[in-house]
Structure 1
Amino acid sequence: MVSWWQALTRAAGRYPWPANVLLYAGFFSGGDALQQVLRGGPADWQHTRHVATVAVAFHANLNYVWLNLLERALPGRAPRTILAKVLCDQALGGPVYVSTFYAGMSILERKDDIFLDMRQKFWNTYKSGLMYWPFVQLINFSLIPIRWRTAYTGLCGFLWATFLCFSQQEVFLCLRVRNGTHSK
């Protein structure tokens, strides 16, 4: 009998794009579920579905293509090359990921102003990410094989998504408490 790890490795080798996208989305939406548990309130599975949708429809696919493009443009694992990849990722990729998360969630939540969360939270989220993602990507570009990089990013995104989803819901929960519609 084939173990789950062997099956996963085989699937990632044979179908790297879908395997990485599904792993990324699973980890990322798991981060949302974890932050809900940590809050102690009832689970909001619709929100978790929205996070998974943003991850599958955009983040994971963009990440897979982006990391492969970076590897083609800057091949290898020399220290200067790794540093260049990290800088490109943070300067170009980071703003896109943060913006699309907030805008994508706002679209799925049918908010009137889909850019409001992004305008309010972009800089704080991006600056916070600069304390986390460069170290993640340093490890990613130096130690992780290209076929696993999106899955690794998703795994690290589990912790980041916990923070990001917490941040994304903060204003919404404050408004519900202020209006008396939040129950715990």
Structure 2
Amino acid sequence: MRKAFLRHVRRFPWVTNVTLYGCLFAGGDFVHQWFSRREKMDWSQTRNVAVVAFSFHGNFNFFWMRFLERRFPGNSYRMVLRKLLLDQTTAAPLATSVFYTGVSFLEGKEDIMEDWREKFLNTYKTGLMFWPFMQFVNFALVPLYVRTTFTGCCAFIWATFLCFSRQSGDGTMHTGTNNLLYYNLTVFY
């Protein structure tokens, strides 16, 4: 099964990577809602997260990983650190901004920048505890043709946090709540 999957990824890299990334990101919202023990699942929220993930995050990551590899080829320590620095200073702020504003736009909020203004800086700083390690592994060990998928697996955890932060947090891991989601996310840090 693994060989068939990898053959499919090599044959259709863009479609496979973007689809998996989008599904994993939307799955993060589903897990957030499940851990939040909501009375009823808000499928429109999951849809909005999925639309942002499919239309921007998956595509952006697919082409971003290729750009970084072309600009800084190889997995030497020096090249990995260059990719990592560029990723954390360029892609991370952009992706976080698109998440907050994109989901707010799809929800029809009057001020789509509200969540971004309130949570961006805290979310970015929280991401600096998670993403550099994940992307270091990604750039150093993962073949280019599955890097977006690997990032999607990491983004599953990150999307769960983002959805939690958007609904009831302030963009940090320290929101003062003692729920199961908070506990599970701190295990990964």
Q: Please, what TM-score do these two structures have when normalized by structure 1?
A: 0.89
Which of residues 34, 37, 41 is equivalent to 1:37? 34
Q: Distance in 2 between matches of 1:10 and 1:51?
A: 29
Q: 1:170 offset after TM fit, Å?
A: 1.6
Q: 2:103 — aligned with what?
A: 105
Q: Distance in 1 between matches of 2:130 and 2:122?
A: 13
Q: 2:173 — aligned with what?
A: none
1:164 is aligned to 2:145 = no
Q: 1:11 — aligned with what?
A: 8
Q: 1:8 offset after TM fit, Å?
A: 2.1
Which of residues 30, 39, 50 is equivalent to 2:48? 50
User: Which amino acid in 1 is paired with 2:84?
Assistant: V
Q: Distance in 2 between matches of 1:11 and 1:58?
A: 22
Q: Which runs of 5+ in 1 are unaligned?
A: 172-184
Q: 1:147 — aligned with what?
A: 145
Q: 2:133 — aligned with what?
A: 135
Q: Distance in 1 between matches of 2:92 and 2:156?
A: 16
Q: 1:121 — aligned with what?
A: 119
Q: 1:25 — aligned with what?
A: 22
Among the aligned pairs, what percent are the same residue? 49
Larger deviation: 8-17 or 146-155? 8-17
Q: Distance in 2 between matches of 1:162 and 1:119?
A: 20
Q: Deviations over 1:110-148 (max 9, x none)?
A: 000111111111000000000100000000000100000
Q: Distance in 2 between matches of 1:31 and 1:7?
A: 26
Q: Distance in 2 between matches of 1:10 and 1:78?
A: 27
Q: Distance in 2 between matches of 1:91 and 1:103?
A: 19
User: Which amino acid in 2 is paired with 1:27?
Assistant: L
RMSD (Å), alpha carbons: 0.9
Q: Which runs of 5+ in 2 are unaligned?
A: 170-189
Q: 1:10 offset after TM fit, Å?
A: 1.9
Q: Please, what TM-score do these two structures have when normalized by structure 2?
A: 0.87
Q: 1:83 — aligned with what?
A: 81
Q: Deviations over 1:84-130 (max 9, x none)?
A: 10000000111100000001001100000111111111000000000
Q: How many residues align?
A: 168
Larger Rg belongs to: 1
